[in-house]
Amino acid sequence: MKKVKIIEVHENVFNSNNVAAEELRHELKDKGVYMLNVMSSPGSGKTTALSKLINILKDEYRIGVMDVDIETSLDAQKVADLTGVRALQIHNGGLCHIDAEMTSKAIEEFGVDDLDIVFLENIGNLVCPAEFDTGAHRNMMILSVPEGDDKPLKYPLMFSVCDLVIISKIDTMEFFDFDMDKAKSNILRLNPKASIIPVSAKTGEGMEELAKWIRAQL
């Protein structure tokens, strides 16, 4: 019979990422840079809402955007065109998420010493990005009205890890069966500490409140 040598490990697989994320968070804090991780499903209007928000804040703060995508440079280009701020496209090679190590490398390439706020626009996906701490100081996610008020029930982890949930496209409320109170209670049941801000990037409703929330974090 073969003899077996066992090496006990007992380590959480996410541990190395969590450690790297904590290091990055400290490093950015020391530099005076505040990073926000923005998550959502594809098509939630993330790039548009983010561009509007940046336009409100860009005279007060030096802002940069890092956009994670599988293939194209469309998002970074769009944000740069709409806001005039510096944007970097990160291609993550087809993975479903970005982790702290990838974020750290991107930060190095991007150069953040001259910035106050960095928005990390994560991959459009409500599952995987929630599992991986990127090293951001705050997590926010965008839930758009057409997606439905039951999304928090279907993707509980995503809603549990967010400090802020933005309910976007509220100008389309009349066309969809979206119950705002139900959406809010579904979110708060999972995450009692979450801030919730309904906005419309199109009409501008709620955008000032959103900017206020960001200012309060700095």
Partner 1 sequence: MHELGVTFYVVKDVKKVAKENKVDKIDFVTLEIGEVSGVIHDQLIDCWNWARKKETVTESAELNIETLEAITFCEDCQAEYRTVDYGKICPYCKSENTYLLRGNEFNIKEIGVYDEDDEES
82 binds partner 1 per the rule CB under 8 A: no
Which residues are within 8 A (CB) of 13 and not within 5 positions of it... i.e. 6 or more apart? none
Residues 172-191 that bind partner 1 (CB under 8 A): 189
13 binds partner 1 per the rule CB under 8 A: yes
Q: Which of 99/149 has CB closer to partner 1? A: 99
Query: Can you say how many angstroms the Cα of residue 173 is from the centroid of all Cα atoms in its chain?
Result: 23
Binding residue for partner 1, selected from 56, 95, 173, 180, defined by CB under 8 A: 95
Q: Which of 85/123 has CB closer to partner 1? A: 123
Binding residue for partner 1, selected from 19, 70, 96, 218, defined by CB under 8 A: 96
Whose CA is closest to 172, among 198, 208, 134? 198
128 binds partner 1 per the rule CB under 8 A: yes
Q: Which two tokens stand for residue 167?
A: 């309910």
How far is it, in rounded angstroms, from Cα 138 to Cα 33?
A: 12
How far is it, in rounded angstroms, from Cα 135 to Cα 26?
A: 9
Judged by the rule CB under 8 A, the positions of this chain that interact with partner 1 are: 2-14, 16-17, 95-97, 99, 127-128, 131-132, 189
